[in-house]
Amino acid sequence: MRDSRSNVEGDYYACAPYASTPFVSPTLRPSFDKRIAIQYNALQMIIITRLIWDDWNVNHIALHGVTQIDVEEVCRGNFLTRQTYHGRLMVIGPNASGNLLSVILAPEGNGQYYVVTARPAAKKERRIYRQTKGDSRP
């Protein structure tokens, strides 16, 4: 159930890794398709069992300088979430290099999400992430 209260501008929710096993997309490593990443806080729980990829979304995120691996690193890391239009989910978090990315996911049911787009996080998104997570960088 979604709470109308907010801990930072907008409806961003801080999420921290619950499972020690990282999420890896079945499209990259089929042997890990049973692993689940659970991200949670008091207001909302997100369970990602699979990211759905096709030629369109892989090519689209490449236009923004983002790779499939970058998106998967964000989705298994320490990220913030917020609801966007059409029931989609915005995920803001760092990839393995520490670059903050913004990923839009469309729920497909049973913990599966279609990757709509991904791009470097905007200045406001970076500020909100750093304020929420306690990072002092500008």
CATH code at 45? 3.10.450.530
| Residue 75: strand, helix, or coil | helix
pLDDT at 48: 82
Decide if 7 is inside a domain. no
pTM above 0.95, yes or no: no
Q: What pLDDT does 137 receive? A: 56
Single-letter residue type at 113: Y
CA of 82: how far to CAs of 35, 45, 53, 62, 130, in Å?
A: 24, 11, 21, 23, 15
Token pair for 4: 């109308």
| pLDDT at position 133 | 84
The residue segments making up the domain with residue 102 are 13-133
8 found inside a domain: no
Task: Please state the φ and ψ torsions of residue 102, each to the nearest 5 degrees.
Answer: -115, 125
Which ranges of the chain would DSSP assign to H, the alpha helix?
55-63, 68-75, 123-133
Calculate the CA dihedral of residues 67, 137, 77, 58 and round it to 10 degrees: -10
Query: For residue 38, what pLDDT is reported?
Result: 44
Could you read off the pLDDT tens digit of each residue along the chain, which spans 138 residues? 333 333 344 454 444 443 333 444 444 443 333 344 444 433 456 788 899 999 999 999 999 999 999 999 999 988 888 888 899 999 999 999 999 999 999 999 988 999 999 999 999 999 999 988 876 554
**Does residue 98 lie within any of the structural domains?**
yes
Task: Answer whether residue 39 is part of any domain.
Answer: yes
The answer to whether residue 72 is domain-embedded is yes
Residue 3 counted as domain residue: no
For the chain, the domain total comes to 1
> Does some domain include residue 100?
yes
